[in-house]
A = this chain, B = another copy of it.
Amino acid sequence: MFTIAIHGGAGSLTRASTNDQQEEEYKKGLRDALEAGYAVLARGGNAVEAVEKSVMALENNPLFNAGKGSVFTAEGTHETDAAMMCGRTLEAGAIAGVTNVRNPISLARAVMEQSENVLLAGNGAMDFAKAHGVAFEANEYFDTQHRREELEKAQEKEEGKNTGKGTVGAVALDESGNIAVATSTGGITNKKFGRVGDSPVIGGGTYADNHTCAVSCTGDGEFFIRLVTAYDVASLVRYKNIMLSEACDTAIQKLTQLGGEGGLIALDTKGNVELKFNCESMLRAWKNDRGEGSINVWQNEK
């Protein structure tokens, strides 16, 4: 039995501003990323490898706010955050405020597997990347026209206001019964002051433990940090002994109550998969080895 689920951001698309062709392009991006991770699982590969491959595919696609498609900061640069966690070992790796790294999720994996630390930030994280042969790209690689327009709109409208946003993530269960999670983001358009979101915060936007579940969040990151959302889902499952679906609903309710928008994907070692959100859209897809799965964008699609 194996399963994978991915997301490409919650709240980043609205029906009003998305035509059918655009929707198909996003769905194709999701499908390609889903298949990249699924293929790893189908050949007996492990969950860590699967979530990395899915997230890399999303990072390489300019449509998603991660890697190549990362939004612009207030300074016109691209600062990315990412994290990975292995549910079997509770090993974790995360990076924050990193520029020019082609695949931030692969850097997070290198931190997880080759560093004695969990979280590396800024120039130091880039020194680690250089020392470990991670691929770099010039600034221009990350400059996309639609993100530049988002920045210009954000700067015209109101300084510091969050507009363009989004995160990508994946959770997987492999044939050996292990789960893992990967999350990666370009943050929020026009962000200032080295803002770090929930993605690289273990427990906030990213968490995995074979005993409970793997969770990747997307949306208003500050709320996920304050609510420790990813670990909250795991705690509800473990300590309150409730179903994964109920735990995810509870976490989304808390997000709504505190005034945040977003969603999460989660799965456990029994093969349960949840994709929950409280806003108009969450780019999402999942697939298991029994032929079940779906690729959806809007609320109330299954």
0/1 interface trace, chain A 210-245, chain B, CB 8 Å (1 if under): 000000000001100111100110011001100000
Most buried by B among A117, A162, A201, A236: A117
User: Do B258 and A231 touch (CB < 8 A)?
Assistant: no
Contact of A232 among B117, B160, B231 (CB under 8 A): B231
Q: A122-B123, A195-B117, A222-B116 are in contact. Are A228 and B203 (CB under 8 A)?
A: yes
Query: Contact size class for A?
Result: 35 or more
The reply to whether the CB of A207 lies closer than 8 angstroms to some CB of chain B is yes
**Chain B positions within 8 Å of A301 at CB level:** none
The reply to whether the CB of A10 lies closer than 8 angstroms to some CB of chain B is no
A227 to B211: give the CA distance in the assembly, Å: 13
0/1 interface trace, chain A 92-134, chain B, CB 8 Å (1 if under): 1000110000000000000000011111111111011000000
The reply to whether the CB of A44 lies closer than 8 angstroms to some CB of chain B is no
User: Do B202 and A228 touch (CB < 8 A)?
Assistant: yes
**Chain B positions within 8 Å of A119 at CB level:** 195-197, 201, 225
What's the nearest-Cβ distance from chain B to residue A178, in Å? 16
User: Do B231 and A228 touch (CB < 8 A)?
Assistant: yes
User: Do B231 and A121 touch (CB < 8 A)?
Assistant: no
Closest 9 CB pairs of A and B: A124-B194, A203-B228, A235-B235, A239-B239, A122-B122, A128-B193, A124-B193, A203-B203, A228-B231
Contact sample, A vs B, 15 pairs, CB 8 Å cutoff: A85-B226, A90-B227, A92-B225, A116-B160, A117-B191, A119-B201, A119-B225, A120-B194, A124-B193, A124-B195, A128-B192, A202-B228, A203-B203, A203-B228, A235-B235
New contact pairs (20) apart from A127-B194, A231-B231, CB-CB < 8 Å? A116-B160, A117-B222, A118-B225, A118-B226, A119-B196, A120-B193, A120-B194, A121-B121, A121-B196, A122-B123, A123-B194, A127-B192, A201-B203, A201-B204, A203-B231, A207-B228, A228-B231, A231-B235, A236-B239, A239-B240
